[in-house]
Amino acid sequence: MARIVLKGIPVSAGISVGRALFVNRSRFSQIPREAIPDDLKDFEKTRLELAFERVREELATARGKVPKELQEHVAIIDTHLMISQDPKLLRSAQKIVVEMGITAEWALEKAEDQIAQAFAAIEDPYIRERIQDVRLVSRRIMDKLLGQPHALVDAAMRAEMSARFVMMAHDLTPADTIGLDISKIMSLATVQGGKTSHTGILARSLQIPALVGVEGLEEEVCDGDLVILDGLKGSIYVDPNEDELAYYSDLKYQFENYQSSITRECSLPAETIDGYRVNVYANIEIFEEVAAVLDVGGEGVGLYRTEYAFMDRATIPDEAAMTTEYSELAALLAPRRVTYRTLDLGADKLSRQFGKLDEPNPALGLRAVRFTLKHPELFRQQVRAICRASQHGNVAIMFPLISGVNEIDQCKEVVRDVQRELAAAGIPHDPEMPIGIMVELPCAAFIADVLAQEVDFFSIGTNDLIQYSLGIDRINKHVSYLYQPLHPAIVRSIKYVVDSGHQAGIEVSVCGELASDPYCVPILLGMQVDNISITPHAIPGIKRVIRQTTMQDCKNLLREVLKARTVAETNQLVRDSVFKRFPEELMFYSSLLD
């Protein structure tokens, strides 16, 4: 047996066996937590200003050195630059210095914690995990305060990197990697980070195995330790024995062959053995992800989360900026479909320009379409931008968190009014641009037959539909075990929405984690969904699973699942059936049913 087995969150699939090397560790024990006399407060405030300034210079320099093959990460470095330029963190730390009379390092730590508490209350996991960006920038500033060069540019460290290694870190930024020889990194593991952290995005784009959120990493692993990093199941074996080495060497070989195989086939259509075709689209947040969509055989973008262009910015993008972004995206992907979801902002992920909404439960408050209808000028600007972009490709518009017909009527009236305005001004646009809604509230699912008469397509947002239907706060670890994607109520709700859409003659898509789970996809196929929309890296594997099944098998499985009375029965049925068909495929996946 290995000396110890650590667990983490797998964010990039694969296996590696090699020697561990830390590029940075927590600085917790180095921070001087000391009181200071009044006559040193101005000095400490100036130290903070200088540290922020040096980090801004360092990031700007790193940005200019980004090689062509990593240009997609420039946007992330830009985000870190914006955070370093935002006066909030600096002013908060300086205020703490004055009010509490403590060192600049301790004040910075407390200011970061205050911001982290605000982020912890955010419901959306992607936005919530953006606190990692703040922490990463804060870490660089702390290094300057502590008088350290950034660990990754240390000459002695570079000397140790003469051979390939398993990179380990407390946390890692894209800017950190600029000075590294990527070809030397076999895989990576960090203490910090979540499923949607930039470390995962970086690792997937580099196609190296990765884990984040590994507990005990810094305490249990030393530089030079032999480790097995299992990016499939989320494990790190420290000092493995010969049997474990032999098993993982074989598994690594099998996985690499599997990856090569599905990548070669990714441009093939997602069509079952008996001829049922499903479109497989991508969910993306930033323009730079377009290349990844095309590389993995994505057939379009089923969900473009437009609100991310509004985050971490000092000013709101105007109509011209939005039109340029949406038009370029549509043109690059034409004739593939691009579906723009209008802003899903709210108190839990509010752009700073709108101030703070004092809401005790933001997930149920003024958010998404409710928020945009309360800000008609902003809504109108975005709708105009999407309509103007429609002349450049195959564009659709979609409204989030719809609860009833009245909201659809209001949204459609804005679209029609904008289209009349553009026509009168002679501005080109597609007057037949499809209009759809997200079905993610139980009330919308209950009246799907009514809503289907009002729009051109449905997109079922399974993450929110599950949360709201089961009454589960999915970020609450005490009840997360109740988050069951194949709960009988969820399966029946989705099927009712699909059937209602088809009876009205409109397309039905499914986005969310459920659509990228190989155990759940056969259930969706059995319902005869038209499209699924998933993260780009999951597309080749899911297309492969679809091509190896039959619609008849999927319908048979769905029929049995609909008879089940409990989650346990449903999960067992699906596990037995799907695993029996894909025993070799599923060894390379984790599942929501785990």
- Residue 150 designated active-site: no
Q: How far is the C-alpha of 59 from the C-alpha of 140, rounded, in Å?
A: 10
- Residue 511 designated active-site: yes
Structure token pair of residue 365: 């408050």
| CA 562 to chain CA mean position, Å | 31
- Residue 470's alpha-carbon distances to 101, 442, 473, 486, 487, in angstroms, are 48, 10, 9, 11, 9
Q: Was 313 annotated as part of a binding site?
A: no
The two counts, helices (H) then strands (E), for the chain are 25, 17
H-assigned helices in 266-375: 290-295, 319-333, 368-374
Q: Was 474 annotated as part of a binding site?
A: yes
Q: How far is the C-alpha of 427 from the C-alpha of 431, rounded, in Å?
A: 11
H-assigned helices in 350-424: 368-374, 376-389, 405-424
> How many CB atoms sit inside 10 A of residue 455's CB?
21
Instruction: For residue 548, give the DSSP letter.
Output: T
Order of strands across the sheet that contains 185-190 = 4-7, 235-238, 226-230, 15-24, 165-169, 185-190, 210-212, 9-12
Instruction: For residue 364, give the DSSP letter.
Output: G
DSSP letters of 416-458? Answer: HHHHHHHHHTT----TT--EEEEE-SHHHHHTHHHHTTT-SEE
- Residue 218's alpha-carbon distances to 9, 192, 223, 452, in angstroms, are 16, 11, 10, 53
Q: Strand 507-511 and strand 457-461: pairing?
A: parallel
Structure token pair of residue 576: 């037995």
Q: Was 464 annotated as part of a binding site?
A: yes
Handedness of CA 137, 143, 148, 152 (dihedral sign): negative
Q: Was 440 annotated as part of a binding site?
A: yes
Q: Was 388 annotated as part of a binding site?
A: no
Catalytic residue among 511, 520, 537, 554: 511
Catalytic residue among 80, 198, 392, 537: 198
Residue 273 three-state SS: coil
Q: Was 305 annotated as part of a binding site?
A: yes
CA dihedral 16, 17, 23, 27 (to 10 degrees): 100
Residues with a known catalytic role: 198, 511
Detail the residues annotated as belonging to a binding site for Mg(2+). Answer: 440, 464
Detail the residues annotated as belonging to a binding site for phosphoenolpyruvate. Answer: 305, 341, 463-464, 474
Detail the residues annotated as belonging to a binding site. Answer: 305, 341, 440, 463-464, 474
